[in-house]
């Protein structure tokens, strides 16, 4: 049982976590924190949080679990502000999609990564954002990755694991670098492609007609381009090297496919499509 959960950034992820833990009766009180008081009042009206404070130092006071659910670009400034106001038994975790930058941000903020800070990342979400989009079932049967460091406190790690398990999530542990490499391939690259495709089509002179005739495949592929631009901007900036490596790999393969089309190399085109279909069908059964 979490006595006081303080969530800094009560949006889709933070709000859904609060809802899920309340539904599981795994938390006594949820305190929300953010810069927009109207947003926090809305979270209160929805029953997502029990009280709020726009002052982070007051919001974390007395909390035994603090979840940092704001964009990763704000991590250093936020942690520097709250560090001296955390209770001795407080465990701090985050939900950022790039763990290397989060670990470095905390280190820059206070000189070292505290043993009771547990880096984490729920691999769950939708293209919608804001507390209004939150729902208690978001994490059920979804993976949450924890990336503890060598000196991470075992008790703190166990508490964060238990918190996510209470939401119905499947919790796994991997190294920081491996997490960032895998997520660059499976999450960051697809979002970049969706954003780039929609932006390209939106700049064409007949864009109205293009979007008018767009079918289900276009909607499915580009759905994630409706995601929070600030969040994905921060991810690109903070996981730059891993994303660039994946972009280079993909652009090389895309160029080979372009050459095959230009050269009417039907065998290669069919080979790529068949290989991709087989891989996607296998993935859908996992």
User: Can you spell out the DSSP letters for 146-179?
Assistant: E---TT--HHHHHHHHHHHHHTT-EEEE--HHHH
Whether 45 and 148 map to the same domain: the answer is: yes
Q: Give dist(CA 98, CA 238) in Å, integer.
A: 7
Beta bridge partners, 4, equal: 29
Going by C-alpha positions, the residue among 43, 52, 92, 85 that lies closest to residue 69 is 92
Q: Which domain holds residue 52?
A: 2-174
If asked whether residues 188 and 160 sit together in one domain, one would say: no
The lowest-confidence range among 88-97, 120-129, 162-171 is: 120-129
Last residue of a domain, one of 151, 174, 197: 174
pLDDT at 211: 77
pTM (2 decimals)? 0.86
Lowest mean per-residue pLDDT among 9-13, 15-19, 222-226, 255-259: 222-226
The verdict on 164 and 55 lying in the same domain is: yes
CA distance 138 to 125: 7
- Per-residue pLDDT, averaged over 26-53, amounts to 97
Distance CA 149, CA 63 (A): 23
Residue 182: the pLDDT is 94
Q: How confident is the model at residue 275 (pLDDT cuts 50, 70, 90)?
A: very high
Rg, C-alpha atoms of the chain: 21
Structural domain tally of the chain? 2
In a shared domain, residues 183 and 101 = no
Provide the 8-state DSSP code for 285: T
- Contact yes or no for 99/147 (Cβ under 8 A): yes
Same domain, 193 and 99: no
Query: Does 64 share its domain with 192?
Result: no
Which domain-ending residue is among 157, 174, 191? 174
Strand partners, 65: 5, 91
Question: Where residue 286 falls among pLDDT bands split at 50, 70, 90?
Answer: low
């Amino acid at each position: 049982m979490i006595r006081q959960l303080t969530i800094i950034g009560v949006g889709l992820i933070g709000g859904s976590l609060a809802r899920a833990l309340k539904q599981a009766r795994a938390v006594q009180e949820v305190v929300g924190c953010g810069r927009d008081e109207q947003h926090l009042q809305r979270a209160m009206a929805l029953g997502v949080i029990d009280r709020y404070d726009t002052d982070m130092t007051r919001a974390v006071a007395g909390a035994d679990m603090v979840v940092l659910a704001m964009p990763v670009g704000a991590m250093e400034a936020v942690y520097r502000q709250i560090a001296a106001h955390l209770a001795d038994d407080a465990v701090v975790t985050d939900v950022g999609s790039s763990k290397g930058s989060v670990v470095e941000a905390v280190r820059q903020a206070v000189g070292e990564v505290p043993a009771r800070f547990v880096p984490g990342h729920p691999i769950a979400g939708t293209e919608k954002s804001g507390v209004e989009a939150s729902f208690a079932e978001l994490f059920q049967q979804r993976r949450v990755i924890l990336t503890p460091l060598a000196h991470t406190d075992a008790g703190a790690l166990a508490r964060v694991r238990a918190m996510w398990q209470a939401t119905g999530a499947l919790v796994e542990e991997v190294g920081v670098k491996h997490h960032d490499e895998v997520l660059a391939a499976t999450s960051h690259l697809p979002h970049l492609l969706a954003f780039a495709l929609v932006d390209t089509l939106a700049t064409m002179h007949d864009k109205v007609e293009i979007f008018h005739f767009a079918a289900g495949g276009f909607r499915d592929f580009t759905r994630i381009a409706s995601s929070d631009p600030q969040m994905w901007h921060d991810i690109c900036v903070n996981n730059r090297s891993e994303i660039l490596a994946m972009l280079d790999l993909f652009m090389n393969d895309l160029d080979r496919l372009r050459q095959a089309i230009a050269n009417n190399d039907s065998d290669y085109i069919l080979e790529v499509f068949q290989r991709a279909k087989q891989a996607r069908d296998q993935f859908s059964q996992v």
